[in-house]
Structure formats: C-alpha cells, structure tokens
Amino acid sequence: MSLIVSLVRQLVVLLPVAWLLSLSGELSLVWWAFPFAELFSLTLCIFFHRYVYRREVRPMMGA
C-alpha cells in the first residue's frame, strides 16, 4: 500500500497537476502542486488505514 501511495502521489497527482499549473505561464503556481499532492496522499493514507483497520485489526480484537 505504501508503494501505491508513493506512485499515485508522484506519477498520478504531482506531475499532471504541475503540468496543468505550468500552462498558466506563472512559474510560482507550479509549486502549489506539491501541497496538493501531499494532501491527496494523506487522504489516500487515511483511506488505506481505515481499510486495514476494519479488515485486519478489528477482527483480532473481537477474537
């Protein structure tokens, strides 16, 4: 899951967002791609955490 988060952050979010922001012609806007990618990866990590907790941890606590 860690590999998925890293690949999604770098290849699926960061590069396309940086490219889209570069189309504006303002170089300083490209830097906003990094916080956007970080927030997206945080959201994905929270989703994966909830998934693993519900599937792996919660059943162990009931046993």
Q: pLDDT of 19-60, one tens digit each?
A: 999 999 898 999 999 999 999 999 999 999 999 999 999 989
- 62 has a pLDDT exceeding 80: no
Whether residue 63 is predicted with pLDDT greater than 90 in this model: the reply is no
Counting every residue written for the chain, the total comes to: 63
Which pTM was predicted?
0.81
Q: What is the spatial distance between Cα 16 and Cα 3, in angstroms, rounded to a whole number?
A: 19
- Residue 8 φ then ψ, to 5°: -65, -40
Rg (CA), the chain: 16
Cβ atoms 48, 5 nearer than 8 A: yes
> How many helices, marked H, and strands, marked E, lie in the chain?
5, 0
